[in-house]
Amino acid sequence: MFRVNKVLAGMGLLSVGLTSCVDHVAGDEPAVAGMELDEAEQGLANGTLVSNRWAGGIVDIGFWDGSQWVMSGCSGQVVSRDAIVLAAHCVRRWLTPDTANPPNVNYNPPDTGTTWFAAYRMNEDGTWTCITDPAGGCQLQASWAVPSTYLGVYHTATQAWTGDNADRDVATLNFGTNFANVVQKDAAYLNSGGDSTIGTAYGYADSPASDGRLRGGNFSGIALSGGAYTKTVPQADPHLCAGDSGGPLRFLTSAATTPESTVRSGVLLGVNSKGGCSGANVGNIWAPINSNRTFIENNIGRACATVVQNGWSTRDCW
């Protein structure tokens, strides 16, 4: 079990950046050498624990911020044999923070860069498996990119963001080296055929009941507002919360009877961007993949092919 000292973010962006102390025992997520684990995650509050084949390509991500390893409190989705899609604000928080005090409102961070990452997937039995060079200590360098039109800037002085536009809250990690412990069926297709009003969101949890396991929640009546997907739900329903940032909103395309060896993780519709962990009604916001697909394909370093899945026009980037 994790032993974590944590404070959960209450409202707003879904990543968390609070220092935690974690003890690892057999079966827990392996620690990268020197990594300071940030596990203050609540993950899809009121969602359902995921312990099936759909969990394969959804990962928990750690960053090297230039001085230390931190587990970001962010999730991600494998989209090819060497690339992950996640939220831009996760990258901004750890790799391009504005450290001015008071915050520099004119801060213009870079849109691309290269650094070291660690990514883990949750197994059905609750154990963790590294996908980023496990033989090398689960540390693998990747090129990251955020859209030039994404305006979100995290200010460490006030623990706040300014100018965030959730419709562009998408980022890519291009490792250029094939993942370990990942096969083609784990990678989600990219949506390229319009918008959806239904989907299932996923994110990693860290509560006594779930022990860091992946949670999922179904959403219907999703609307497109301001270029982003939105859905407000009662507090008792599944909703996005701390730790879910960067996780996928997906449409599952394969029936339960499909053989395990041929199942794909579905169509990636959106990226978890914002949510709330308090109040009677919780607003959930996702960055759509359809309107960010060109950016993704241009930055994962791989040619993608058009594939129709259950009537959906998608892009297969494996």
**Whole-number pLDDT of residue 94:** 76
**17's tokens:** 């950046």
Predicted local distance difference test score (pLDDT) of residue 317: 97
The reported pLDDT for the residue numbered 100 is 61
What residue segments make up the domains of the chain, in order of their start?
11-316
pLDDT at 111 (0 to 100)? 92
pTM to 2 decimals?
0.84
Q: Cα(300)–Cα(294) distance, rounded to whole angstroms?
A: 10
Q: Which pLDDT score, from 0 to 100, does residue 156 have? A: 56
Give the whole-angstrom CA distance, residue 271 versus residue 201: 9
Divide the 318 residues of the chain into consecutive groups of 10 and give the mean pLDDT of each group.
24 38 31 36 75 76 83 86 94 74 65 94 80 92 93 59 78 97 91 92 65 83 94 91 88 62 80 82 94 97 89 91
Give bridge partners of residue 171 from the DSSP assignment: 86
Residue 53's φ and ψ, nearest 5 degrees, are: -65, -20
- Tokens of residue 194, six digits: 């319009």
